[in-house]
Amino acid sequence: GNSVTQMEGPVTLSEEAFLTINCTYTATGYPSLFWYVQYPGEGLQLLLKATKADDKGSNKGFEATYRKETTSFHLEKGSVQVSDSAVYFCALSDPRGGKLIFGQGTELSVKP
């Protein structure tokens, strides 16, 4: 069945460091891919998305590229801020719509 695997956390970085959070997936067909973020005490928010191979999703300085050949959708940011501290979830949705399948989440902590 479809599944998503994320790198384990927590990840601790200093402010302005480069961030990569790895995400790989297993799916039949051509799923849409998403990154959601959960800030402390808040609900899940969509961060970015990509719907087909080689698409790049971007938002708030974060980027992720849909790589079909490596079945990956790694999240990157060039310079993290303290306010980026949160839990990040990678997810896929089958192309007909319907349920999202999430990874286990990666906690990011950014220190000043």
| Closest-CA residue to 50 (of 42, 58, 61, 60) | 58
Alpha carbons 25 and 71: distance in angstroms, whole number: 6
Among 75, 103, 108, 110, binds another protein (CB under 8 A): 103
Dihedral angle of Cα 51, 56, 62, 68, to the nearest 10 degrees: 70
The answer to whether 104 contacts another protein (rule: CB under 8 A) is: yes
Alpha carbons 1 and 27: distance in angstroms, whole number: 7
Tell me how far apart the terminal alpha carbons of the chain are, to the nearest angstrom: 41
Nearer to another protein, 80 or 91 (CB): 91
Shortest spacing between CB 110 and another protein, in angstroms: 20
The answer to whether 7 contacts another protein (rule: CB under 8 A) is: no
Q: Which stretch binds another protein (CB under 8 A): 11-19, 21-29, 67-75, 85-93?
A: 85-93
The answer to whether 82 contacts another protein (rule: CB under 8 A) is: no
Using CB under 8 A, list all residues that contact another protein.
Answer: 4, 32, 34, 36, 42-46, 49, 51, 89, 91, 93, 95, 97-105
